[in-house]
Every structure is written in C-alpha cells, then in structure tokens.
Amino acid sequence: MRTIIVCKSVSHGNTRKVADVIGEVLGSRIVDPSEIDAAELSSYELVGFGSGVRNMDYYQELRAFVRALPGEQRRKAFVFHTGGFPEPPFRRYQHNFTGLLEQKGFEVLDTFSCFGYDTLWPFLIVGGVRKGRPNAADLAAARTFAENLRTTAA
C-alpha cells in the first residue's frame, strides 16, 4: 500500500521522531505540507497526518493544507501528534482535525499521541516540560501503532 506522511514538526523535532518510526514500519515517504500538493497526494492509498501542538491546536500549516484539499478524497488516513500536555476536554483539537479530514472524504483509521518536550512560554522559564520525550517507550508505542495500522489498512 502506497503510504505518505504529511508532518509538521517545528520546535524540537518531537513529531518528526514519531513520524520516522511510523514511516519506517509503513515504508512511508515523509513530507512537510509545503512539499506536496493535492494532485500528488492523490496517488497514495494511505495518508498520515502528524503535527506538534501549539496553542492547543495542530499547526496552522497542516490545517490549512487539509482545508485546501478538494473534497471526496476517498482514501484511508491516520493522525498523530506530540504535545507537552494531554488534550483538554474543552479543546478537542485531535477530534476537530479528524473531523476536518472526514469532511474531505478520508476514512480515519486510527490516531496516536504521545508527550513531547515543550518549551513554549511560560514553560521556558522552568526549562520546559516533558524533557526527553518522546522517549524509547513512546517510540515503541508508535511502532506498535504503525504495525497495527499496517494490518488494519490492508
């Protein structure tokens, strides 16, 4: 199954570390949203979307990329993110993003998240939170996620 991961990873490369593990298992090409267009994306059967979390949402560049896609994508997708804190119940950014994908015609098979080192203000003054994350256990969980996805998507 032809697979690509569209990943926006900025501050510390946390999300890219997870994307690399998932991509290795799935044999995926990994690109920034600025490196691919809708026409090229249509040649893939499974599309992963990965993002860090900034201001309790996925990166604007990834959200804008998905919003610009034509509807009726009719392909399978998965979503993952890294962040310094768990997703709060009052701001369901992963749910909102998967909903946007479904509006575009994607079938979202599964989602994954783990902690990532976060130095956004005000955490910077104390050296950040979740230092050392994603760690080996997080990356092992990402590998298991990808292995399960490979089975589900087939």
Sequence spans of domains, the chain = 3-153
The CATH code for residues 3-153 is 3.40.50.360
Kindly report each contact of residues 32-35 with a partner whose C-beta sits within 8 Å and lies 24 or more positions away, as own/partner.
32/6, 32/7, 32/8, 32/61, 33/6, 33/8, 33/61, 33/62, 33/64, 33/65, 34/61
Higher pLDDT residue, 123 or 15? 15
Do residues 132 and 114 lie in contact, with contact meaning Cβ atoms separated by under 8 Å?
no
Query: Which pLDDT score is estimated for 123?
Result: 65
Do residues 93 and 87 lie in contact, with contact meaning Cβ atoms separated by under 8 Å?
yes
pLDDT tens, 108-126?
999 999 988 777 667 666 6
Do residues 79 and 47 lie in contact, with contact meaning Cβ atoms separated by under 8 Å?
no
Tell me the average pLDDT of the chain.
90
Taking the alpha carbons of 134, 136, 142, 143 in that order, is the dihedral positive or negative? positive
Q: At residue 130, does pLDDT exceed 90?
A: no
Q: Residue 11's pLDDT band (boundaries 50, 70, 90)?
A: confident
Mean pLDDT of 21-50: 96
pLDDT tens, 38-66?
889 999 999 999 998 888 899 999 999 99
Which has the closest alpha carbon to 82: 120, 122, 138? 138
